[in-house]
Amino acid sequence: MEILWVLIAVVMLGAVLGPMMLRRRGGIRLANPGSPDAADPANYGFLRQEELDVRMPGPDQDLEDVLDVVQHTQDWRAASQLLAGTGIEGEERWQRVQAFAGAASLELRQRPGGVSESPGGQWLRVWRAEAPKDAGGAAVHAEFLVQQAWRTATPGTDEFRIILEEARAACGEAALLSPGDPVPYIVELSIARGLAYSREEFEQLWLKILDRAPAHMGAHLAALHYWCEKWLGSREVAYAFAEAAAARSPQGSLLSALPLFAVYEHLPEITLVRGFYESEVVRKAIEGALYAVHTARSDDPMLAHVRHLLLFFLVRGERWGEAMNQLTHVDGHVGALPWTVADDPAADYAVYRALAVAGYEANGGSPATLTQ
């Protein structure tokens, strides 16, 4: 009989805590702020889930046009021309390299090829074969290999190591073809994480990046991933890196948002306490990110990355109005954390968007008040 009562108590506890469980990535189950089904995101001009662009975090019309051309014609030349005309001094080149590599990787997953069908992303292989001295093609190929390693191979296996070693060679080639370009070294940061570079090896690589682009947000995000992976269990190291970068960030830099990314990387797999998202460490990280987006240039290529992660935390903290504000800036594109780690980024984003709309309307908001 005592066992029966214990079982009943366990079932009741699960019924109470189940809806509160917040999974870190994918398949979200959030405390219901209202009824997401009753609120229609389309009323706010948001795109349907099937219309969301998973290739990039925010609009880049030139990139979108070229991606469409490349994917429809399978001709790499437009991609080469776009990268050749993209300066190496800013964030845009790194983001475009990522987008081209991601598009090729996605094509390959969708069309792995067979006896009667060529594999997806064939244009990248042709690009490398026909223009081996093209710096843009070398950088895209290196990033493509990195993405393939992390998405298709198991870390620690021979397959994983072999792909990353090939990517490291491609990074070296890209660096020689484009002196002064930080992108090949930024790509190598993900290799450093996978191959477990020593601290000395990492710092040598990091100095090469700082010499070329000391305030590069993308580089800092990639470095943060290394610290979170290499020194797992010592989150203070990652936080210290993020906070130091934020403290020395120049006016208008998005580096003030880096602590929020550090918090995200160390979220527990299951958070049972909603108050975690209202805690001091999370609140300070959110405020830093909000400050960053308010002071950054409106055309900063990394701005959408910060807004997407802010949306994630603002929804979990039930800060509906602020979450809706982020949605008005990013809706339409979902190629950023935290959505890209999900099997279906568009679906993951759409759930958070529906919750934001439902919570906003449950607290008196409407399309009319959002535009005021």
pLDDT at 121: 86
pLDDT at 119: 79
Tell whether the model's pLDDT for residue 312 goes beyond 50.
Answer: yes
Whole-number average pLDDT of the chain: 85
d(CA 350, CA 181): 36
Give Cα 10 distance to the centre of its chain. Answer: 37
Omega of the bond leading into 112 within 30 degrees of 0 (cis): no
Other C-beta atoms lying within 10 Å of the C-beta of residue 131: 15
pLDDT at 19: 35
pLDDT at 21: 36
Q: Where are the domain boundaries for CATH 1.25.40 in the chain?
A: 61-230
Q: What is the pLDDT of residues 316-347, one digit of tens each?
A: 999 999 999 999 999 999 999 999 888 899 99
- Kindly report the backbone phi and psi dihedral angles of residue 299, in degrees, each rounded to the nearest multiple of 5, phi listed first: -100, 15
Candidate CATH numbers 3.80.30, 1.10.260, 1.25.40, 1.10.3470; the one for domain 61-230 = 1.25.40
What is the percentage of the chain residues whose pLDDT exceeds 90?
Answer: 65
Cβ contact 371:58 at 8 Å:
no
Q: What is the pLDDT of residues 137-185, one digit of tens each?
A: 999 999 999 999 998 899 989 999 999 999 999 999 999 999 999 999 9
Tell me, what DSSP letter sits at residue 155?
A: T
Which amino acid is present at 266?
H
Q: What SS3 state is found at 270?
A: strand
Of 31 and 201, more confident: 201
Cβ contact 86:96 at 8 Å:
yes
d(CA 139, CA 53): 23
What are 133's strand-pairing partners? none
Of 115 and 307, more confident: 307
Q: What is the pLDDT of residues 258-296, one digit of tens each?
A: 999 999 988 865 455 567 777 888 899 999 999 999 999
Cβ contact 252:265 at 8 Å:
no
Nearest Cα residue to 353 out of 52, 17, 22? 52
Cβ contact 293:303 at 8 Å:
yes
The runs of H, that is alpha helices, within the chain are 2-17, 61-73, 77-84, 92-110, 122-130, 135-152, 158-177, 183-194, 199-212, 217-230, 235-247, 258-265, 280-295, 303-316, 320-330, 345-362, 367-370
Q: What SS3 state is found at 22?
A: strand
pLDDT at 114: 61
Tell me, what DSSP letter sits at residue 354?
A: H
d(CA 21, CA 23): 6
Q: What is the pLDDT of residues 65-76, one digit of tens each?
A: 999 999 999 999
Long-range contacts of 283-291 (CB under 8 A, 24+ apart): 284/259, 285/259, 285/260, 285/313, 286/260, 286/310, 286/313, 286/314, 286/317, 288/246, 288/256, 288/257, 288/259, 288/260, 289/256, 289/257, 289/259, 289/260, 289/313, 290/322, 291/256
